[in-house]
Amino acid sequence: MPCPPRETFQIGWICALPIEAAAAKEMLDENFGLLDAQDLSDSNIYTLGRIGKHHVVIACLPGGQCGITSATTVATNMIRTFSKSLRIGLMVGVGGGIPSAAHDIRLGDVVISCPKNTCGGVVQYDMGKVEVGGEFHRTGSLNSPPRGLLTAINLMRAAELTDDPHYPKYLLKAIGRNARTRKNFVRPQQDRLFKLEHYHYGTASTCDGCLAEWEETRSERETSDPQPHYGIIASGNAVIKDGFTREQLRLDTGALCFEMEAAGLMMDFPCIAIRGVCDYADTHKNKQWQGYAALVAASYAKELLGYVPISSVLQENLMVDICDM
């Protein structure tokens, strides 16, 4: 099929890591390849494709440049090149899970940013001011996701009460496509959550040397399918790699997940953040679950788009107009 005109692409999908971009491309029903012509000041590289009835443009952050500022630059360039069509955004990738008694978050689950109380769904945990006595106070607020995406999420959540979701099937199909996808996206066997006081043993890249008695006791799940969690995602420029810090930020923000890009998008790039849980943001953090978690997030995003009517997308303002405002 020939590539549709640039003005056809209304949904922007941003990733931070190459593994996340690869997972996104696995979700395309049609891949139209790379965009040949774009704004001369735009340094992004775009993959164009179709998911169901939607035409989607995928962009990845430059290598080694994760974080809020890089995400803002990629989004700004995308809006400039697709100024006549872009209306809705997705920030899809991996994040550090924040398990608690109220939220049984495990590796391979997916966290979706949704408004709660006065928070629009994403909180920038490192934006604020230090007041008298050295106490840090968060300031400012970030926009909520587009109304059409929030409505689609509620439809999807309602469907899950009576029917099996489709994203686990998308996940398994992508994993089994060939030897490379099996190698890079297969689900790891071990999911170990360690007690806060037990730090990672030595400098090893795996937790093989970490003792079993250090682990939290958790009940066995009925299924190995990834479970969705809806609520606040904490975003900031710092990598969280300490269990006590994770717990303190959970108490402060109520967040279910940490990541490093969404806060750079929410004001001018109306989007929802979808994060596959690849670690627990502690000293035991490693990359073993990264591929599977990235594919989980992409699979969820694909199903979510199936609940978004074209008419709902057209009701959203063009992103370029939001920037002008």
Mean pLDDT computed over 2-25? 96
User: Where does the pLDDT of residue 130 fall: very low under 50, low under 70, confident under 90, or very high at 90 and above?
Assistant: low
What is the chain's mean pLDDT, rounded? 91
Evaluate if residue 140 carries a pLDDT over 60. Answer: no
Find where tokens 């109306």 sit: 270
Asked if residue 56 belongs to a domain, the reply is yes
User: Where does the pLDDT of residue 185 fall: very low under 50, low under 70, confident under 90, or very high at 90 and above?
Assistant: very high
Look at residue 235 in the predicted model and tell me its pLDDT: 92
- Domain at 55, CATH number: 3.40.50.1580
Domains contained in the chain, number: 1
Look at residue 76 in the predicted model and tell me its pLDDT: 94
Look at residue 134 in the predicted model and tell me its pLDDT: 59
Q: Are 232 and 123 in contact (CB under 8 A)?
A: yes
DSSP string, 182-227: HHHHPPPS----B-TT-PPPTT-SSSTTS-GGGBPP-PPPS--S--
Which residues are registered as beta bridge partners of 56? 11, 49
Asked if residue 302 belongs to a domain, the reply is yes
Q: In sequence order, what are the residues at sequence separation of 6 or more whose Cβ sits closer than 8 angstroms to the Cβ of residue 263?
A: 68, 122, 123, 124, 127, 142, 235, 236
Asked if residue 193 belongs to a domain, the reply is yes
Q: Are 44 and 78 in contact (CB under 8 A)?
A: yes
Q: Which amino acid, residue 40?
A: L
Evaluate if residue 136 carries a pLDDT over 70. Answer: no
Q: Are 229 and 112 in contact (CB under 8 A)?
A: yes
Look at residue 149 in the predicted model and tell me its pLDDT: 95
Which residues are registered as beta bridge partners of 278? none
Mean pLDDT computed over 186-206? 87
Asked if residue 323 belongs to a domain, the reply is no
Look at residue 138 in the predicted model and tell me its pLDDT: 63
Asked if residue 325 belongs to a domain, the reply is no
User: Where does the pLDDT of residue 208 fall: very low under 50, low under 70, confident under 90, or very high at 90 and above?
Assistant: confident
Look at residue 137 in the predicted model and tell me its pLDDT: 61
In the numeric block, which tokens belong to residue 274?
């979808």
Asked if residue 276 belongs to a domain, the reply is yes
pLDDT in tens, 48-90: 999 999 999 999 999 767 888 899 999 999 999 999 999 999 9
96 phi and psi, to 5 degrees?
-95, 120
Asked if residue 324 belongs to a domain, the reply is no
Its domain, for residue 258, covers 6-318
Look at residue 131 in the predicted model and tell me its pLDDT: 61
Mean pLDDT computed over 103-124? 93
Residue 183 Cα distances to 175, 224, 226, 289, angstroms: 8, 19, 19, 12
Element (H, E) at 316: none
In the numeric block, which tokens belong to residue 238?
């710092």
Higher pLDDT, 203 or 163: 163
> What distance in Å separates the CA atoms of residue 255 and residue 99, rounded to the nearest whole number?
10
Asked if residue 1 belongs to a domain, the reply is no
> What distance in Å separates the CA atoms of residue 191 and residue 189, rounded to the nearest whole number?
7
> What distance in Å separates the CA atoms of residue 88 and residue 319, rounded to the nearest whole number?
8
In the numeric block, which tokens belong to residue 248?
């303190």
> Is 316 buried (19+), middle (13-18) or exposed (0-12) by CB count in 10 A?
middle
Higher pLDDT, 174 or 140: 174
Evaluate if residue 180 carries a pLDDT over 80. Answer: yes
User: Where does the pLDDT of residue 324 fall: very low under 50, low under 70, confident under 90, or very high at 90 and above?
Assistant: low
